[in-house]
Amino acid sequence: MSTATEPTVALVDAPVTGLSLRQLAWRRLRRDRGAMIAMWVLVFIFGIAILTPWLVGLMGLDPYAFDGTVLSPAGSLPLGDWGGASWEHPLGVEPLTGRDLLARLMYGARVSLFIAVTSVVIIAVVGTTIGIIAGYKGGWLDTIIGRSTDLLLAFPFFLMLIALSPVLTQRLEAAGLSPEAARIGYLIIVFAFFGWPYLARLIRGQVLSLREREFVEAAVASGAPTRRILFKEMLPNLWAPIIVYVTISIPTLIAAEAVLSYLGVGIVEPTPSWGKMLADSVRYFAVVPTYLFIPGTALFIVVYAFNVFGDAVRDALDPRTGRGIA
Amino acid sequence: MSDTILDKEEHMGSAIKNGLRLAAVATAGALVLAACGSSSSDSSSGEATESAASGEGAPGGTINVLTLEEQFLHVDPQRIYTGVDLAFFNGYTTRTLTAYNMAPGAEGVTIVPDMATDLGTPSADAKSWAFTIRDGVTFEDGSPVGCKDVKYGVSRTFATDVITDGPTYAISMLDIPKDADGASVYKGPYVTEGNDVAAFDKAVVCSDDDKTITFNLNRPAGDFNYTVTLTAFSPVPAAKDTGEGYDDAVVSTGPYKISEYTKGQKMVLVRNENWSKDSDDYRPAYPDQIVVTFALDLAAIDQRLIADAGDDQTVVTFTGVQPENLATVFSGDPRFVDRSVDGYDPYVRYLAVNTQKVPNQMHRQAIAVALNRAEMITIAGGSFAGDIGDGVIKPNLATDYAPSGMWTDMFGAAVADTGDAELAKKLIADSGEPMPPITYQFPISPTNEKAAASIKASLEAAGMTVTLEGIEAGQYYGVVLDPEQEKELVSAGWGPDWQNASTVIPELFGANGGFNLSRVDDPAYEAEVQAALAMTDRTAQADAWKALNKKAMEQAWAVPTRFGKIQYLWGSKVGNGFLWDAYGSYAFGDLFVKS
């Protein structure tokens, strides 16, 4: 916590006057111990996910290499205690295949986080744009957008995901994607498609109230072009809800990916993902408990850290909503 | 033969029901039960078997059967074709002319008379078989069973639009002419117009006293008395037959009758008062009732058997022990030693190579050689899953098995169990043609997906291009049996219908084979198959099957991946628990409750 950036450090000692909204929020956030721990945990996990290919190579691990020699000849269970944990395989190996669990966990983080982050970026861009347009323009455009979001929100999301899976993945594969890319692409498309209406609604509401504010009226009166009003006047005031929405959405999407992979419509072999690891490991809870424990714990830590951090960000950006510190 | 695919791995709750009348094993981890098989000389299990099987049973009590399935695929005797269902109903409610001896080991694949007075009398050319029905055999309403009832039962098989999924040996073996389309001129008992009943009456003849039934066949069959162990040759009372609906209202001939059958919940069998012990030397009929509980989770079944508490002490199952529990059950733990068995099931698991898509023999051989078979066995559960296979005929088909030499010298050099990428590359180079890209089709399950990843890796190490195509397990055989949808390489499994490779080689590689996933169309081979089918000298016939098996492997029409095994665990109060090699299941009719 002490390693805050230069200007912020200066600001702590400076008089409280003259702080921007962002600076105020950052200050509140920094004082929230739990949030900072959660943030560093997330930075750590994202760092690992990004560096995985290099790290795994450095450790001499391979997430895809089958190895029968670390399994019992009868039953194909990991040899040794703790799921076959050893110096070569720090978290043990997968029953039946002997693939290294640490490598698969790290590659799985990459896949799970990539899907969640990519989806959420698309959701943020699409949802914000549509929300602003609907809120600012109003009229028939607002009605059409409002009805479409209602329509999308009315779809049973998970049911649609499962039902659409074979059709859409086949289409994507026919379009030239590898089966692996098709599954990942499918999840991103569907998450984004069903995810943006929530944010669009939120933004629309914000824009409706912003539209009546003096600075917007002033900009309109001074003859500013619409684009300037939307993106220079309004957007900066919408960052708070967007950031909150994003941080709260990511863990939901990670969990959703896990659920879908668990149900068999998400990621397919040999690509590792946390949900798939969980699904495979459940049967072994009695004989190789560590196998279930590893992806379960990883999933729990990430989702929990995101939730804690997201909560704190919301409090920091809008102290009226909760247990604000400032 | 016999299907019903209970994929061990497919836990999420659904049994994979295979609606085909083909014997097929879905998967590496699949568990299927079928007719055939001889002694499984497996170490620890063998001893457990002997001790468990010894001793005379005691009457009374309830045998509980737990299963993942929602219902029996069929109860109608002419439609049952799953090994375990044959074993179950033949043991309790459905009598046949002859039946497999309910005994462990090699004795379990020999036949004994059931409804018939003896094992049948063949004519000199073995093209005609006569069986005499015992006195005192009755239906559950007390009416006597005569030749006409057996004949009526057999006639139902010909109604292929109503009586689906059952074995069709009556159609293929009885001497009834075929029409222009290759269909039998006799269409079963439900068709009146344009139906050549006279042809059927000539093929199946009853004596004047209605006691003796004679089957006239279109080719010599020295082992037709094995064919009639199928419940498709059991009697059905014409007056009670409701066609399709008979599946839910079966009339019993055995010591038990169905008192309740609620699909998704349970079936209760109670004693049939009209069954006479004097007419049946085959069934000891120990328990007072048998209760089948459906739709249970496989993991939960295993946990109940391991805990062995209360009523669970009288439990047996249709499926084997789940892979994750095998190490626990077979660790030598005294809690399990006397109530578990590990032995061969009747199935050979193999990869069929579609010869229409991979016409070059050397390309097919390259696939066989490149495959890491040891890894596939490890993924399926190691030594519990089975042994390395070297053909489509398994050693428990003792008469017809001979090592094919596939992995020792057939392809020019010994091939390690882990595959030989260099030899495969050489074969592809020598073929003079580029290797076509390979798509591998398999039924989706966690284990099959891992096996598919292994296949992809080992074939790609030999320079091939491999695409994986997982297919929803319930639809799997429907897709790959369709020539339009079948790709280059297909996961499959097969077990014989009785102790003769005549139920293997012609089915898998014959022109009319029902399970010809390799799409073999080889007139010279077909001529040899037909010649072998017509042989009456069993030794010469066995030699022919051995040679044909070897030829098929040389052509690499199929790549055997393993000779499968099965493991059972039963409750501590179940008597006579052993692996019945005839069906790879329990000898249900022999089970009793220990006091």
Task: Determine the pLDDT at residue B40.
Answer: 35
Is residue A96 within 8 angstroms of chain B, CB to CB? yes
Question: In this predicted structure, which of A50-54, A319-323, B2-6 has the lowest mean pLDDT?
Answer: B2-6
Task: Determine the pLDDT at residue B54.
Answer: 44
What is the Cα–Cα distance from A2 to A9, expressed in whole angstroms? 9
Q: Helix A179-211 and helix A139-154: axis angle, to 10°?
A: 140
Residues of A in contact with B446 (CB under 8 A): 279-280
What is the Cα–Cα distance from B464 to B442, expressed in whole angstroms? 18
Mean pLDDT of B96-123: 92
Is residue A179 within 8 angstroms of chain B, CB to CB? yes
Task: Place B25 in a pLDDT band, splitting at 50, 70 and 90.
Answer: very low
Which tokens is A133 given? 């347009």
Which tokens is B118 given? 């003896």
What DSSP designation does A57 have? H
Task: Place B114 in a pLDDT band, splitting at 50, 70 and 90.
Answer: very high
* Sole residue written with tokens 């009697």: B235
Tell me the pLDDT tens digit for each residue of A201-250: 888 888 888 888 888 888 888 888 888 888 778 887 788 788 888 888 88
Give Dmax (Cα) for chain A: 81
Residues of B in contact with A263 (CB under 8 A): 12
Residue A271: closest CA among chain B residues belongs to which residue? B453
What is the Cα–Cα distance from A264 to B449, expressed in whole angstroms? 11
Q: Which residues, 6 or more positions from B50, have their beta carbon under 8 angstroms from its beta carbon?
A: B104
Burial bucket for residue B561 (CB in 10 Å: 0-12, 13-18, 19+):
buried
What is the Cα–Cα distance from B583 to B102, expressed in whole angstroms? 10
Domain residue spans in chain B?
Answer: 345-566
Report CA Rg, chain B: 23
Q: What's the gap between Cα B53 and its chain centre?
A: 23
- Pairwise pLDDT comparison (A277 vs B190), residue with the higher score: B190
- Pairwise pLDDT comparison (A79 vs A126), residue with the higher score: A126
* Sole residue written with tokens 């009785």: B498
**Beta strand spans in B500-569 (E):** 558-569
* Sole residue written with tokens 């049911």: A159
Q: Is the peptide bond before B220 cis (omega within 30 degrees of 0)?
A: no
Q: Is the pLDDT of residue B118 over 80?
A: yes
What is the Cα–Cα distance from B568 to B111, expressed in whole angstroms? 24
Task: Place B543 in a pLDDT band, splitting at 50, 70 and 90.
Answer: very high
Mean pLDDT of B126-142: 94
Indicate the CATH number of B345-566 among 3.10.105.10, 3.30.460.10, 2.40.10.10, 1.20.1250.20.
Answer: 3.10.105.10
Tell me the pLDDT tens digit for each residue of B324-334: 888 889 988 99
- Which amino acid, one-letter code, is at B532? A
Count of C-beta atoms within a 10 Å radius of residue B56:
9
Q: Which residue out of A62, A67, A96 would a mutagenesis test of the B interface target, given it has the greatest number of B Cβ atoms within 10 Å?
A: A96
Q: What is the DSSP string of B448-483?
A: HHHHHHHHHHHHHHTT--EEEEEE-GGGHHHHHTST
Of A168, A200, A170, A174, residue with least CA distance to A187 = A168
Task: Place A17 in a pLDDT band, splitting at 50, 70 and 90.
Answer: low
Cβ–Cβ < 8 Å for B585, B417: no
Is residue A186 within 8 angstroms of chain B, CB to CB? no
Task: Determine the pLDDT at residue B68.
Answer: 84
Residue B13: closest CA among chain A residues belongs to which residue? A263
- Which amino acid, one-letter code, is at B539? T
Which tokens is A260 given? 């879908």
Task: Place B474 in a pLDDT band, splitting at 50, 70 and 90.
Answer: low
Cross-chain residue pair B450–A96, CB shorter than 8 Å: yes
Task: Determine the pLDDT at residue B462.
Answer: 93
Q: Which residues, 6 or more positions from B461, have their beta carbon under 8 angstroms from its beta carbon?
A: B370, B419, B421
Tell me the pLDDT tens digit for each residue of B143-193: 999 999 999 999 999 998 899 888 888 998 899 998 887 788 999 999 888
Burial bucket for residue A142 (CB in 10 Å: 0-12, 13-18, 19+):
middle
Residue B29: closest CA among chain A residues belongs to which residue? A96
Task: Place A15 in a pLDDT band, splitting at 50, 70 and 90.
Answer: low
Which tokens is B488 given? 């280059």
Cross-chain residue pair A268–B470, CB shorter than 8 Å: yes
Mean pLDDT of A282-300: 86
Mean pLDDT value across chain A: 81
CA distance A280 to chain B (A): 7
Q: Which residues, 6 or more positions from B361, have their beta carbon under 8 angstroms from its beta carbon?
A: B555, B556
The strand pairing partners of B267, in sequence order, are B261, B292
Q: Is the pLDDT of residue A18 over 80?
A: no
Rounded alpha-carbon distances, angstroms, from residue B206 to B90, B130, B170, B253: 23, 9, 16, 20
Tell me the pLDDT tens digit for each residue of A181-205: 888 888 898 888 888 888 888 888 8
Mean pLDDT value across chain B: 86
CA distance B383 to chain A (A): 5
Task: Determine the pLDDT at residue A320.
Answer: 58
What is the Cα–Cα distance from B528 to B83, expressed in whole angstroms? 29
Task: Place B87 in a pLDDT band, splitting at 50, 70 and 90.
Answer: very high
Q: Is the pLDDT of residue B58 over 90?
A: no
CA angle A307, A313, A315 (to 5 degrees): 105
Rounded alpha-carbon distances, angstroms, from residue B145 to A319, B5, B163: 88, 34, 21
**Three-class secondary structure assignment of B201-261:** HHHEEECCCCCEEEEEECCCCCCHHHHCCCHHHCCCCHHHCCHHHHHHCCCCCCCEEEEEE
**Phi then psi dihedrals of residue B151, to 5 deg:** -60, -40
- Pairwise pLDDT comparison (B511 vs B562), residue with the higher score: B562
Q: Is the pLDDT of residue B568 over 70?
A: yes
Q: Which residues, 6 or more positions from B1, have their beta carbon under 8 angstroms from its beta carbon?
A: B23, B34, B35, B36, B81, B83, B167, B346, B494, B495, B496, B497, B503
Residues of A in contact with B472 (CB under 8 A): 166
Of A191, A190, A238, residue with least CA distance to A213 = A238
Is residue A250 within 8 angstroms of chain B, CB to CB? no
CA distance B323 to chain A (A): 6
Count of C-beta atoms within a 10 Å radius of residue B282:
23
CA angle B380, B386, B388 (to 5 degrees): 100
Burial B149-180 (b: 16+ CB within 10 A, else e): bbbbbbbbbbbbebbbbbbbbbbebbebeeee
What is the Cα–Cα distance from B201 to B53, expressed in whole angstroms? 44
Is residue A75 within 8 angstroms of chain B, CB to CB? yes
Residues of B in contact with A73 (CB under 8 A): 382-383
Residue A269: which of B299, B324, B452 has the nearest Cβ? Answer: B452
Mean pLDDT of B423-452: 90
Question: In this predicted structure, which of A44-48, B45-49, B440-444, B494-498 has the lowest mean pLDDT?
Answer: B45-49
Q: Which residues of B touch A (CB under 8 A)?
A: 11-12, 299, 303, 322-328, 330, 372, 374-375, 378-384, 444, 446-447, 449-450, 452-454, 456-457, 467-468, 470, 472
Is residue A280 within 8 angstroms of chain B, CB to CB? yes
Is residue A223 within 8 angstroms of chain B, CB to CB? no
Is residue A209 within 8 angstroms of chain B, CB to CB? no
Of B278, B307, B341, residue with least CA distance to B587 = B341
What is the Cα–Cα distance from B284 to A188, expressed in whole angstroms? 62
Question: In this predicted structure, which of B44-48, B502-506, B564-568 has the lowest mean pLDDT?
Answer: B44-48
Cross-chain residue pair B378–A97, CB shorter than 8 Å: yes
Task: Place A171 in a pLDDT band, splitting at 50, 70 and 90.
Answer: confident
User: Which of A91-100, B217-226, B257-266 is most confident?
Assistant: B257-266
Cross-chain residue pair A283–B11, CB shorter than 8 Å: yes
Mean pLDDT of B521-549: 90
Mean pLDDT of B446-450: 84
* Sole residue written with tokens 């750590």: A44
Question: In this predicted structure, which of B11-20, B169-178, B331-340, B505-514 has the lowest mean pLDDT?
Answer: B11-20
- Which amino acid, one-letter code, is at B453? A
Task: Place A16 in a pLDDT band, splitting at 50, 70 and 90.
Answer: low
Of A27, A37, A33, A35, residue with least CA distance to A247 = A35
Tell me the pLDDT tens digit for each residue of A81-130: 787 788 878 888 888 888 888 989 989 888 888 999 999 999 999 998 88
CA distance B48 to chain A (A): 18
Task: Determine the pLDDT at residue A196.
Answer: 87
Q: Is the pLDDT of residue B39 over 60?
A: no
Mean pLDDT of B41-54: 39
Cross-chain residue pair A269–B378, CB shorter than 8 Å: no
Cross-chain residue pair A75–B384, CB shorter than 8 Å: yes
Cross-chain residue pair B381–A75, CB shorter than 8 Å: yes
Tell me the pLDDT tens digit for each residue of B203-218: 999 999 999 999 999 9
Task: Determine the pLDDT at residue B254.
Answer: 95
Cross-chain residue pair A77–B467, CB shorter than 8 Å: no
